[in-house]
């Protein structure tokens, strides 16, 4: 009997809103995962992509995620701090405790800070007013282009450009690339103001790659990996959801009207940057795996 495809939920923390980072702006990610097949041509993943049903009340899917047959949750916290209810957080935490795989990502300042209460993975995310970075020397503005955005706002580059990443040793499986001259991925999409992530001290987790600010030259963490253990399934905490948006993969896909930063063209000029990004996505999905 053929194994069923791994079920992946791509989920934002806002209700459907055309002029925002709703799930429609992650279409290239959805299509990439849905098109992945095994050596026999069978689909590896069954992908569902959705926004919240409504704000301010338990979501009918998230608040019962632990009762679902999803294997992975890819959560894009695009809210301003109110994107998850207590019931949602409880069910998501129980989902991971039952060996569900999770990729949780956010953005600058307090954007996506509703993830703070998620069991284990939430503690990896640091914001401006909630769970700030313990190093107070980092409580300063990094990117100066958009004055309305304060720390954490690490500038890895312009939207539409790529950044050179630094994989940390030992090389994590989600960063492996046998076709690379280094054996590792080298590029991810850039963003003018990435958020802050760090490995919690009480978890089996570590920083797996860093980036470098194009404004200050300061290194910052791009991703934290949680190994599956008694606390729950495997997980990735990512510094910004812009590593996964259509706009940061292909500028022609457009962005919400409130995005004012001048874009770059690096992703279009360097095909390897998009290939590395695709490989990273597929590596994450394979590593997070399927619930036993």
Domains, the chain: 6-288 (3.40.50.880)
Contacts of 265 (CB under 8 A, 6+ apart): 160, 161, 251
Distances in Å between the Cα of 255 and the Cα atoms of 6, 37, 57, 110, 275 are 30, 30, 27, 20, 22
Q: Which of 119, 261, 126 has the alpha carbon at shortest distance from 195?
A: 126
pTM above 0.75, yes or no: yes
Residue 2 has a pLDDT of 58
Q: Which residues of the chain have pLDDT under 70?
A: 1-2
The Cα 102–Cα 87 span in angstroms is 17
Residue 98 has a pLDDT of 95
Residue 1 has a pLDDT of 44
Residue 245 has a pLDDT of 98
Neighbours of 53 (CB within 10 A): 14
Neighbours of 288 (CB within 10 A): 24
Inter-residue contact 224 to 236 (CB < 8 Å): yes
Q: What is the CA radius of gyration of the chain?
A: 18
Q: Which of 172, 149, 84 has the alpha carbon at shortest distance from 121?
A: 84
The Cα 141–Cα 144 span in angstroms is 7
User: 2: cis peptide before it, omega within 30°?
Assistant: no
Neighbours of 219 (CB within 10 A): 12
């Amino acid at each position: 009997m053929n194994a069923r495809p791994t079920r992946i939920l791509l989920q934002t923390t806002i209700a459907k809103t055309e002029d925002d980072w709703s799930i429609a702006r992650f279409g290239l990610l959805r299509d990439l995962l849905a098109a992945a097949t095994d050596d026999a041509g069978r689909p590896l993943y069954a992908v569902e992509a959705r926004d919240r049903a409504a704000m301010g009340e338990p979501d009918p899917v998230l608040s019962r995620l632990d009762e679902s047959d999803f294997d992975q949750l890819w959560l894009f916290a695009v809210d301003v701090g109110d994107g998850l209810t207590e019931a949602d957080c409880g069910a998501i935490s129980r989902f991971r405790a039952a060996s569900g795989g999770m990729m949780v990502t956010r953005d600058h300042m307090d954007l996506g800070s509703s993830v703070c209460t998620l069991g284990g993975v939430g503690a990896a995310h640091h914001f401006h007013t909630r769970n700030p970075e313990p190093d107070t020397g980092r409580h300063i503005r990094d990117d100066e282009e958009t004055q309305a955005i304060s720390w954490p706002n690490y500038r890895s580059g312009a939207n539409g450009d790529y950044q050179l990443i630094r994989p940390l040793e030992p090389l994590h499986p989600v960063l492996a690339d046998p076709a690379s001259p280094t054996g590792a991925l080298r590029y991810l999409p850039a963003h003018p103001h990435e958020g802050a992530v760090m490995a919690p001290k009480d978890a089996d987790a570590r920083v797996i790659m860093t980036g470098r600010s194009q404004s200050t030259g300061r290194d910052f963490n791009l991703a934290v990996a949680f190994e599956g253990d008694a606390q729950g399934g495997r997980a990735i905490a990512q510094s910004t959801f812009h590593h996964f948006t259509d706009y940061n993969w292909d500028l022609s896909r457009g962005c919400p009207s409130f995005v004012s930063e001048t874009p770059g063209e690096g992703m279009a000029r360097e095909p390897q940057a998009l290939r590395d990004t695709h490989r990273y996505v597929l590596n994450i999905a394979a590593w997070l795996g399927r619930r036993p």
